[in-house]
Amino acid sequence: MAAMRRRTFKVLTFLLFFIFLTSFLLSYSHTMMTTTWFPKQMVLELSENFRKLMSYTHRPCTCTRCIGQQHVSSWFDERFNWSMQPLLTMQNALLEEDTYSWWLELFQVVPGNVDPLLEKKLGGCRRCAVVGNSGNLRESWYGPQIDSHDFVLRMNKAPTAGFEAHVGSKTTHHLVYPESFRELAENVSMVLVPFKTTDLEWVVSATTTGTISHTYVPVPSKIKVKKNQILIYHPAFIKYVFDSWLQGHGRYPSTGILSVIFSLHVCDEVDLYGFGADGKGNWHHYWENNPSAGAFRKTGVHDGDFESNVTATLASIDKIRIFKGR
C-alpha cells in the first residue's frame, strides 16, 4: 500500500511539472520567434506521448491488447455493455419484461450462485481462443497456437480427434444446444445456449430421467456431462447480442457470434480461428469432405454477412484478432 502511494505521488508530481513546463514553452513559442531549439511541434508531440503513457497506466489488464480498454472506439463503446452477465445463475435469473417476452418465458432451471467465468482477477491477462468450424482450419497448423490460450471455446458438433494439428486438442468451454450436442471430455464445461424453453427442459431430462429424446429432430435422451460442468448462457445476454451487436439482423444470433461476444466479456484478449470462408471462398465445416456445400451458412435464420462485419470491425479496432487459415 505504501509503495502504491509513493508511486501515485511521483506520478502526480511529474504530471504537475509537465503541465507547468508545457504551458511555459507553449507560451514562449507563441510570444517569441520560432527557434530550432524547442519548436512548438515538439512540445505538442511530447504532450501526446505523455497522454498515451497516462492512458497505458490505467489499462485494465496486462495483455498486449486489452478488450476492456475504453475510449478506443466509439463504435465498440456504444455496443459493449459492461453490466451484462453472460451466464445464468440464481442471482440474475429474473428477466426484464421485454427480455421475458422476447424469450417467451423462463423455465426455472438454473445453476447455483457462482459464475466462475466472472471471477476474473483484475490486472491479469486471460487469453482466449474462440474456435469456429470453418474449413479454413484445414492445413492451418494452428493447433499448438490455439492450445496455448487459457480458455479455448468451441461450439456445436466440432470434433478435435484427428484434427489436433490444425484445430488443437484443448477445450475448456463448449457451446451447444440440444440439436448440436456432442459428448465432451470430463474437464470441459458445457455452455448450454437456450434458444427455446425446451432446451432447459432437455438439459434437466438429459441429466436425470432421460424422457426428452426429440425436439424438432432427435436429440440425445441422456448425456454424461456432470451437473457442476453445466453452465447456461443467459437468455438476456442472447437478446443483448441481438439488439446491441446485430442491430436486429437475422432472426436470432448464431452460436458463432454468441461465442465471440461471450468471450469479450470474460477474456482480456480474444483470438478467433475458423471463422469465414476458406481461401477458395468455400463455406464448409473443417471435418466435411464436400467443401462446396456451404449449407451451414445458408440457414435462413442468421445474417452471416452482418455477423462477419461485426467481427471484422472488432478486429479493425484491435479488440480481437482473426486468424484466417488457408
Please tell me the predicted confidence (pLDDT) of residue 150. Answer: 95
For 216, the 3-state DSSP assignment is: coil
Instruction: Choose between 128 and 123: higher pLDDT.
Output: 128
Beta carbons within 8 Å of 133's beta carbon, 6+ residues apart: 155, 156, 157, 158, 274, 285, 286, 287, 296
252 is catalytic: yes
Q: Which CATH superfamily is domain 74-323 in?
A: Glycosyl transferase family 29 (3.90.1480.20)
Exactly one of 166, 173, 285, 302 is catalytic; name it. 302
Domain ranges of the chain: 2-57, 74-323
pLDDT reported for residue 301 = 82
User: Is the per-residue pLDDT at 213 higher than 50?
Assistant: yes
Phi, psi of 14 (to 5 degrees): -65, -40
Q: Between 93 and 271, name the one with better pLDDT.
A: 271
Helix (H) or strand (E) holding 306: helix 304-316
Read off the pLDDT of residues 220-277 as tens digits, 9 standing for 90 and up.
999 999 888 899 999 889 999 999 999 999 999 999 999 999 999 999 999 999 998 8
Label residue 207 exposed, middle or buried (CB < 10 Å: 0-12, 13-18, 19+): middle
Confidence (pLDDT) at 188? 94
Angle between helices 255-266 and 304-316 (to 10 degrees): 30
- Position 100, amino acid: Y
Of 39-48, 95-104, 284-293, 307-316, give the range with the top mean pLDDT: 307-316
pTM of the model as a whole: 0.72
Q: What φ, ψ does residue 129 adopt, rounded to 5°?
A: -110, 125
**Nearest in space to 116 (alpha carbons), one of 156, 150, 74:** 150
* Per annotation, catalytic residue among 71, 240, 252, 286: 252
> DSSP per residue over 223-252, as a string?
----GGGEEEB-HHHHHHIIIIISTT-SSS
Q: Is 286 a known active-site residue? A: no
Q: How far apart are CA 260 and CA 208, in angstroms?
A: 31
- Residue 125 pLDDT more than 60? yes
Contacts of 250 (CB under 8 A, 6+ apart): 242, 301, 302, 303, 306, 307
Nearest to 193 by CA among 156, 233, 227, 237: 233
Angle at 119 between CA 115 and CA 121, to 5 degrees: 170
Compute the C-alpha angle 296/299/300, nearest 5°: 155
pLDDT digits (tens, 9 = 90+) for 38-92: 455 554 555 555 455 444 446 778 898 888 888 889 999 999 987 888 887 767 7
